[in-house]
Homo-oligomer: A and B are copies of this chain.
Amino acid sequence: MFDDFQLNDDKPYYLQVKDYLKEIILKGMIQADTRLPSTRELSKMLKVSRNTIIEAYNYLEDEGFIYQKKAKGYFVSKIQNTQKTVFNIEWREKLTKLATLADKIDITKSEPKWEKGMISFKSISPDPNLFDVDELKRAFLNRISLEEGKILNYGYARGYKPLIDEIKKYLKLKGINLKGKDVIITNGYTEALNLVLGAVCNDKDEILCENPTHNTAINAMRLKGLNLIPVDIEEWGLNLEILEDRIKNNNPKLLYLTPSYHNPTGVVFSPENRLKILEIAKKYKLPILEDGFNEELRYYSSHILPLAALDDGNSIIYISSFSKVLFPGLRIGWILADEVLIDYIESLKRSLNIHTSFLDQAILFEYLNGGNLEKYINKVKRIYRDKFEWALECVKKYIPHKRILGEGGLHLFLELNSASARDVLKECLKQGVIFTPGEVFYIDDKGENTLRLGISRVTNEEIERGFKIIGDVVKKLEGLK
């Protein structure tokens, strides 16, 4: 015994000795009430100082693994570790439909994964090399000095008050009238969406969605048991005729829209289109769930008001996060909506996870309050726009296509002439290039010839090389080569 002990540099030595002895005791290798070696003896055996052993024994006693007898030394406590049962369950048979469906529609599991050496156009997350890590450090240190332990304890379901106020200011500067509205902080955009759906959509309810739309949104809606009704996206925004037709022929609870740098198409709804959507929604009393996705990444033209800024009533629920530009790893999003609705959503949020990390909220508040977001966006917009323009050039040069959609953002959406994007992906994968086939963004079975090319995490050189490979595969499949 004691001859397989090995020290490493991870933890203090006394904790390593403690854990080592704990394992021996838990395995039942020393019987209860057996006397342990004296601290002097064990110190020699394990080749650590006597103080290390004394401290380890103290901890073990404190954790109830050993006990002391006056003048007789330390003994092993009675740990009931011998009479184990073996009881197995076939969990696959116990799963809910929800869990089975979640697994089935999880594209992270089913789509090809990035491996070393590949060029991946799957990601539309920001380039982490552009983050202001120093400013974030400063924000953390400032906030923790001010708040100390308080910020590490339980907080409120509604969120960290200074951050809520900061986000309200930010929304006001988008032109949104905040009267009668309130904000709740969520675990990113995805939780915001789930909370809204939980508050206003029942199983089997109908919801109108742009088609195609964000795959995360599609999955969240499907998992809520909703009936998704597609409305086509055009180059200028939502197809209004189809919208009105779908409203008349169905009984939708909500209209879900991503009017700026729409995911996956990159389309920006025109100001006129936005106004008309609002008029139609008002006419049919259909509330709107607006997704503020990527509004910050406007590269060209004048500022365009979000739908939430074009209506002075309470009918628009606006959800967003900074995650497409800033620190998505922090998982902070929000819901702006009628204050009555927010009050109910607060209880839902509390029941699900009490609240969003107060440390993260405090850091983000401090970062925003220092004006860092503006500086950061100002910087990255130029970089992303240059990359976007380069990618556009490369697509035009290398990939035969019917249509390129979108005016910006961190991705391009391509419609091919005839090749199936799935077939293209299959061939590209062999050559180490992956992307997201457009069909995963469609509610119906459209989109076979479309693909989304995320460009934020690849270099210009990789864009050219990768697009060339995609283009060659397309040409081959379409008989052009």
Contacts and interface: CB of A to CB of B under 8 A. Distances in A.
A359 B330 contact: yes
A168 interface: no
A312 B10 contact: no
Interface string A275-319: 100110110010100000000001001111100011111111000
Contact of A141 (B137, B148, B155, B281): B137
A374 interface: yes
A251 to B, nearest CB: 13
Contacts of A15: 371, 374
Interface centre among A26, A125, A323 (most CB of B within 10 A): A26
A432 interface: no
Interface in A76-100: 77-81, 83-89, 91-92, 94-100
A126 B152 CA distance: 10
Count of this chain's copies in the oligomeric assembly: 2
B173 A303 contact: no
Contact of A144 (B133, B148, B202, B355): B133
Interface in A234-269: 253
Given A91-B338, A354-B188, A199 B96 contact: yes
A397 interface: no
A168 to B, nearest CB: 13
Nearest to A124: B154
B80 A304 contact: yes
Contacts of A198: 96, 98-99
A390 interface: no
A371 B150 CA distance: 22
A172 interface: yes
B144 A137 contact: yes
Interface residues of A, number: 139
A270 to B, nearest CB: 10
Contact of A152 (B67, B96, B128): B128
A227 to B, nearest CB: 15
B91 A298 contact: no
Contact of A131 (B77, B152, B278, B357): B152
Interface in A135-151: 136-137, 140-141, 144, 148-151
Interface stretch (A102-110, A417-425, A462-470): A102-110
A193 to B, nearest CB: 10
Contacts of A91: 200, 314, 337-338, 340-341
21 contacts: A15-B371, A23-B172, A63-B298, A64-B298, A78-B302, A80-B304, A84-B312, A85-B275, A87-B278, A98-B199, A99-B344, A99-B348, A102-B344, A133-B148, A152-B330, A154-B328, A187-B356, A190-B352, A191-B353, A327-B359, A331-B355
